């Protein structure tokens, strides 16, 4: 399956991009600049919007502020992330805490909860059924997820991407009859976009092979919850998911 152009540029770390003096994203995540058009500080979004699913579904300008990447988006009031800004943001512990809070905010919107910041392990929330249903039907969220994964990679949290992708894969493989995450559109976004949002080539290859086994299922292979947890534990202990998915 061909890699989309935006993903290829991400994997190559945007070779045609040049740094400038913009610090828009740094100031927003420092809680000193308000986003537009919502006119809120990052801490205000975290405090006021968590669990407000209608607002998170129907508003669109905030996602580029919460998850900046080195690409232009549809909100012209937001600024792309710049190389110098990336290092500046990664050097500030409070900014990194806010990025994790943004991730938790969107995970909850999707019916998921971050169990471990170290491994990226996820679990379902109590209301996962309605949130999964919304995710399966609301395809604009697929573009959002691509942005979230790219942003996490840019800002030092790429380890979380594997936890997200393998959680989705487990839900699709082991619990297909009980969840709504195995639609053709969602699978297409996952297989072509999300699964490529890792610059670590070894992890990217492992996850893609796991997805391929689940999609073919010619040998009755099921990617179980135990396999998911074991893979993340192996990576934490050894630095690798292992030899075989």
Is residue 245 situated within a structural domain?
Answer: no
In a domain, 205, yes or no: yes
The verdict on residue 182 lying in a domain is yes
pLDDT in tens, 187-244: 999 999 999 999 999 999 999 999 999 998 767 889 999 999 999 999 999 999 988 7
Residue 16: the pLDDT is 83
Return d(Cα 108, Cα 160) in angstroms, integer: 15
CA distance 37 to 43: 16
Tell the residue number behind the tokens 């998850």, with chain if given.
Answer: 67
Domain that holds residue 68: 5-238
Over residues 154-172, mean pLDDT: 97
Residue 177 — very low, low, confident or very high, per pLDDT cuts 50/70/90? low
- Per-residue pLDDT band for 22 (boundaries 50, 70, 90) equals confident
Model confidence, pTM: 0.95
- The mean predicted confidence, pLDDT, of the chain is 94
Angle 201-216/184-192 helices, nearest 10 degrees?
150
- Asked if pLDDT for residue 137 goes beyond 90, the answer is yes
If you write DSSP's letter for every residue of 163-197 in order, what string do you get?
A: HHHHHHHHHHHHSTTT-S---HHHHHHHHHTGGG-
CA distances for 131 relative to 55, 56, 94, 141, 185, angstroms: 14, 12, 29, 12, 17
- CA-to-CA dists, residue 168 to 5, 26, 66, 97, 141, angstroms: 24, 31, 22, 24, 14
For 8, the 3-state DSSP assignment is: helix
Q: Which burial class, exposed, middle or buried, applies to 177 when counting CB atoms under 10 A from its CB (0-12, 13-18, 19+)?
A: exposed
Distance CA 218, CA 148 (A): 32
pLDDT at 1: 63
The verdict on residue 190 lying in a domain is yes
pLDDT at 42 over 90: yes
Using the predicted structure, report yes or no on whether residue 20 has a pLDDT greater than 80. no
User: What's the pLDDT tens digit per position in 71-117?
Assistant: 988 888 999 999 889 999 999 999 999 999 999 999 999 999 999 99
The count of domains in the chain is: 1
- Would residue 244 count as lying in a domain? no
């Amino acid at each position: 399956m061909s890699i989309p152009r935006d993903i290829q540029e991400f994997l190559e770390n945007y070779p045609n991009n040049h740094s400038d003096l913009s610090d828009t994203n740094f100031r927003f995540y420092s809680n000193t600049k308000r986003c537009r058009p919502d006119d809120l500080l990052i801490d205000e979004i975290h405090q006021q919007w968590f669990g407000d699913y209608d607002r998170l579904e129907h508003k669109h300008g905030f996602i580029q502020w919460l998850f900046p990447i080195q690409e232009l988006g549809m909100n012209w009031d937001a600024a792309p992330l710049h190389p110098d800004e990336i290092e500046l943001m990664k050097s500030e512990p409070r900014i990194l805490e806010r990025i994790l809070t943004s991730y938790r905010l969107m995970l909850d919107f999707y019916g998921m909860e971050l169990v471990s910041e170290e491994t990226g392990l996820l679990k379902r929330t109590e209301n996962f059924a309605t949130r999964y249903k919304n995710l399966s039907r609301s395809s604009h969220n697929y573009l959002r997820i691509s942005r979230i994964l790219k942003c996490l990679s840019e800002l030092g949290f790429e380890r979380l991407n594997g936890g997200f992708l393998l959680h989705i894969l487990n839900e699709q493989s082991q619990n297909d009859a009980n969840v709504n995450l195995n639609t053709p559109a969602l699978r297409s976004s996952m297989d072509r976009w999300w699964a490529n949002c890792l610059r670590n080539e070894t992890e990217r290859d492992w996850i893609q092979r796991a997805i391929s086994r689940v999609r073919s299922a010619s040998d009755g292979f099921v990617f179980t919850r135990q396999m998911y947890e074991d893979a993340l534990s192996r990576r934490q202990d050894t630095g690798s998911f292992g030899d075989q998915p």
